[in-house]
Structure formats: structure tokens, C-alpha cells
Amino acid sequence: SKSAVIIGSGVAGLASAIRLQLLGFDVSVFEKNSFPGGKLSDFTLGDYHFDRGPSLFTQPENVLELFKLAGRNPKDYIQIEKLNEANRYFFEDGTIVHGYIDTQKFDEELVSKLGERKGNAVQYLSEAANLYQHVGLIFLDYPLQRLKTWFNKRILKALAVVKGKHLINTVDQVNKKSFASPKTQQIFNRFATYNGSNPYVAPAMLTMIPHLEHNEGAFYPKGGMISITNALFKLANELGVQFYFNEEVEEIVKAKDKVSAVQTDQRTITADVVVSNMDVYFTYQKLFKDNNKAFEISKQERSTSAIIFYWGIKKSFPQLDLHSIFFSENYQQEFDELFVKKVLPSDPTVYINITSKKDVTHAPSNGENWFVMINAPASQIINWEEAVLAAKINVLKKLTRMLNTDIAPLIEEEHIWHPGGIERDTASFLGSLYGSSSNDRMAAFFRHANESKDYKNLFFAGGTVHPGGGIPLCLKSARLVELLVKEQFAG
């Protein structure tokens, strides 16, 4: 049978491996780390367990689909719970808003806490659903090259469904028109950060993002986000996928209009199909030594990176939820700093994820595992070791003030991840969490396709290629790779 090599075991690499193995390929995965999952991995510090990267889980059907394809019962691999509350929002003036998943309940919460006009959120989320179903899905479920040829037909038809305001305005402009309360506007602006974009610049098409959280729902996999990686890794192994850890791919070997093999730091392996799950920038720069192509890609603005403080906290905070957000007072300034000045925000919005709220074993009793994240610019210039120290002081001051508790003395374990470390550990260009940003109206078309233009048996899956970053889209990219491979190897 034919062979396929996957470079990288990120979530899209795992999903691609499963899909190609099910198509009948002998699949080998090469991973430079000692563990699978890439950004979707975990670690422990003393008695505290931490998910390393992603914390918010939407559209679990993209995961479940893989088990169904393999004829398995997903419940034998992963238990997924739907949340009642997606986020808990904290404002400097003491206001706390519960981001209920249920649209009606969320609408009522915004009315009672923020004096929002009744029905505004319901109306907004129904428009978001409309956008997602008519426009979003076309971008997400089809290969990019098809989209380009269909531009005049399907896309224009889809856009006809969309209201003019979503075509010409930014996310912030639509949110200002849609909501009376500046705090509601801030809550809805934040969704642009789900793919690392700037709500004050990004096109209003991105207002479809809250549809995923509020209409479809936010979820928690029992055991934490690592359970997604563990479940996919287990399935891949059962299906016969071969994994090679601690083995870095150094080169993709070309043969005219095809690629013939990959060379790792330990061997050369021939392959009928190669899928790169590596950041597409580094695929060209490192594996093809093609600096021109890499430079082309680097011209697209990167999405944001992050600084994460993983803190073992020896106290319980009942007022916090699984996902809690401490907003900055001047949100526009925060994005100016991130994208224009490319510096760390002076008053960062702080996000805390605490999985011990769901899995008590993730922290000692009376303790909590805090994953504390602020947005950071994707920048080469900043000295991250120094910047992190200033950021820590800032974050501690903000949380101490907003939680009315001195936080520093409660930290008994600490690990810090910054953009430089994210780039080093996951080979993500400039530490971007989601590849290129969606700040440009045409960004969706500029992302790299799932297939190579130059080599007909080379494919791309992952957060830096079409349709974009985040777990759901990464999983969709693997589905598109399967589709393209199937087309080419049909019969």
C-alpha cells in the first residue's frame, strides 16, 4: 500500500494521520518533541496539572467525527461536557457578568448587569448564526483553490445573504451599532481575539465567532484539553499509525513536480504523500530552504502571541469560573499597543483558566491551577525574559486589585511561557497562536492552501494554513487534506 509521512503531531497532524490511515495509507508521524499534541499538550508542576495551550473548546463534533469515521464509539475515548457559562467577565468598577451559553439567559444578564437593551444580544447572535451558516461554512469546509474559482458563484451568493454592515465595517463598528452599553461592546469585541485579531481593524465578518460559543456552546473535555490529544493519539495508534518522537524533520526531498521523501535527523523515508503540520513559514524556510517563499508568507500580518503564567495557587476563589476575564479599561489602546506599537499592553486584559474547577485532581485541595494569559505582540524585537518580569508585576497588581486579595504570596508553583518560548517549543513563527491574523478583509483568501502549488503530493494541515487557527479549524484543515488526497489518489 501507499505511504504517507506527517511532519508534526499537533492536533491537525494527529487528525491527518487518522484520516490517511483510514484511507489505506501506511502513515508515519515524525515529531521533534518527546510527546504528541504540539500546543495541545500538558505538564505538571508539583501537585498542579496544566494544559499548556488551548483552554476553550468549541465544536466538539470535529473531534467526534474522527471516531465515527473509524467505526468507534467516541465515548470510549473522550467525555465531553457542555458548559452553562462560557466566560465570567470582570470589570474594574466591580461589575461581574456571567457569559451564559444560553442566548436568552445571556441577554437577560446583559440587561440586568449592564443596562443593555433587551433583545440586542439575541438579535446579534441570530445574525452571527446566519453569517456562520451562509458565509463561514463555505470558507471552512472547502479547499481554498475551489473557493477562488467559485468566487463569483458561491461566495457572491453567500454574501448576498449578508447585511451590508458586515461587509464594510469593522467588528468594533458593528458592535457599537448593535449594543448600547460600552461593556457589552467590549465583551463582543473580545471574540476577535479568538483568532488573534484586532477588533478595531478586523472585518465585521468575525462577528460570527460568538455564534460558536453561545448558539452552539462551549465544552469541557473531562481531564482537561489534553484529553483531546490523548484520545486522538490512542485512536491513531490503534489504527496502526507509526509515531517517531524526538525526531526532527530537516528536509523535504524534491523530485521534479513531486516530493519523494523526508529527511529527519536520523533517517530518510520515502513517501507517496507528505503532509506538513509544521508552521508553513518554517516548512518553506527550514525544510525547503526557500527564503523567498517564507518571506512572502511573513508579509501577512501575524496573529497575536501570548504570555502565560502557570501558577499553582494555594487558595480557592469561588468567585472565579473555568474561564474568567479581567478586562482592561481602554480596550482600543490595548490593541493599538499589540498591533501598531507592537509592545506589551500597559493595562492588559487578563484571562484565567482554572481546570481544577472541573477536575479536582488538577490541584491540591484548597488550591487551584491558574493558567493566566495576556495577549502579546508577535515580535522579534522584544527581549521576552525582561518583558515577562514587567508583565508579571502588572498582572499581579491588576488581579490583586480586582480580586481584593494579595495574589503573589499565594503562588507556590510557577512556570512561564512567552512568545520566544512558544516559537522555540512549537516551531510557530514569532510565537503566533493562530498563524496569520484576520485583520485584513481578504485574509481568508491569503492563507496558504492545504495543497502545494509546486508539488502535487505535498499537503498542509494546521493552524497556519486554510481555513485558520484554533482547534476546530485545524481539525477542518485535516478534513480538507483528506479530501484533496482522495481526489488525487482516486482509483
In this structure, what DSSP letter does residue 38 have?
T
- Binding flag, residue 248, ligand FAD (CB under 6 A): yes
Q: What type of residue sits at position 134?
A: H
Q: How far is the CB of 335 from ligand FAD (least distance, A)?
A: 18
- Which residues are paired to 270 by β-bridges? 261
Bridging pattern class, strands 96-100 and 85-90: antiparallel
Residues from 426 through 465 that contact ligand FAD (CB under 6 A): 426-428, 433-434, 462-463
Span of 61-69, 233-241, 404-412, 424-432 interacting with ligand FAD by CB under 6 A: 424-432
Separation between Cα atoms, residue 114 and residue 226, nearest integer Å: 36
Q: How far is the CB of 288 from ligand FAD (least distance, A)?
A: 12
Q: How far is the CB of 246 from ligand FAD (least distance, A)?
A: 9
**Rg, the chain, Cα only:** 22
Q: How far is the CB of 41 from ligand FAD (least distance, A)?
A: 8
- With CA atoms as reference, report the closest residue to 249 among 476, 39, 469, 458: 458
| Strands (E) located in 111-231 | 218-221
Angle at 218 between CA 321 and CA 196, to 5 degrees: 90
Span of 29-37, 69-77, 140-148, 235-243 interacting with ligand FAD by CB under 6 A: 29-37
Residues from 301 through 330 that contact ligand FAD (CB under 6 A): 306, 308
- Binding flag, residue 32, ligand FAD (CB under 6 A): yes
Q: How far is the CB of 252 from ligand FAD (least distance, A)?
A: 10
Q: How far is the CB of 53 from ligand FAD (least distance, A)?
A: 3
Residue 10 vs 367, nearer CB to ligand FAD: 10
Separation between Cα atoms, residue 17 and residue 9, nearest integer Å: 9
Separation between Cα atoms, residue 387 and residue 371, nearest integer Å: 18
- Binding flag, residue 30, ligand FAD (CB under 6 A): yes
Residue 114 vs 480, nearer CB to ligand FAD: 480
- Binding flag, residue 143, ligand FAD (CB under 6 A): no
- Binding flag, residue 196, ligand FAD (CB under 6 A): no
CB of 39 closer than 8 Å to CB of 13: no
CB of 229 closer than 8 Å to CB of 36: yes
Number of residues that bind ligand FAD (CB under 6 A): 36
Bridging pattern class, strands 96-100 and 218-221: unpaired
Residue 12 vs 97, nearer CB to ligand FAD: 12
- With CA atoms as reference, report the closest residue to 238 among 76, 80, 79: 76
Q: How far is the CB of 307 from ligand FAD (least distance, A)?
A: 9
- Binding flag, residue 420, ligand FAD (CB under 6 A): no
Span of 184-192, 440-448, 469-477, 481-489 interacting with ligand FAD by CB under 6 A: 469-477
- Binding flag, residue 469, ligand FAD (CB under 6 A): yes
Residue 30 vs 48, nearer CB to ligand FAD: 30
Residues from 46 through 85 that contact ligand FAD (CB under 6 A): 53-56
- With CA atoms as reference, report the closest residue to 36 among 219, 195, 241, 251: 241
Separation between Cα atoms, residue 434 and residue 4, nearest integer Å: 26
Separation between Cα atoms, residue 62 and residue 203, nearest integer Å: 26
Residue-wise over 363-379: b if at least 16 C-beta within 10 A, else e? bbeebbbbbbbbbbbbb
Please report, to the nearest 10 degrees, the dihedral formed by the alpha carbons of residues 270, 272, 277, 279 taken in order. Answer: 80
| Strands (E) located in 1-123 | 3-7, 26-30, 42-45, 48-51, 57-58, 80-82, 85-90, 96-100
Q: Is 171 helix (H, G, I), strand (E, B) or coil?
A: helix
Separation between Cα atoms, residue 403 and residue 397, nearest integer Å: 10
Residue 188 vs 220, nearer CB to ligand FAD: 220
Residue 15 vs 121, nearer CB to ligand FAD: 15
Span of 27-35, 133-141, 183-191, 230-238 interacting with ligand FAD by CB under 6 A: 27-35
> Of residues 101, 114, 128, 278, which one binds ligand FAD by CB under 6 A?
278
- Binding flag, residue 467, ligand FAD (CB under 6 A): no
Q: How far is the CB of 173 from ligand FAD (least distance, A)?
A: 26
- Binding flag, residue 227, ligand FAD (CB under 6 A): no
Residues in touch with ligand FAD (CB under 6 A)? 7-13, 30-33, 38-40, 53-56, 248-249, 277-278, 306, 308, 422, 426-428, 433-434, 462-463, 469-471, 474
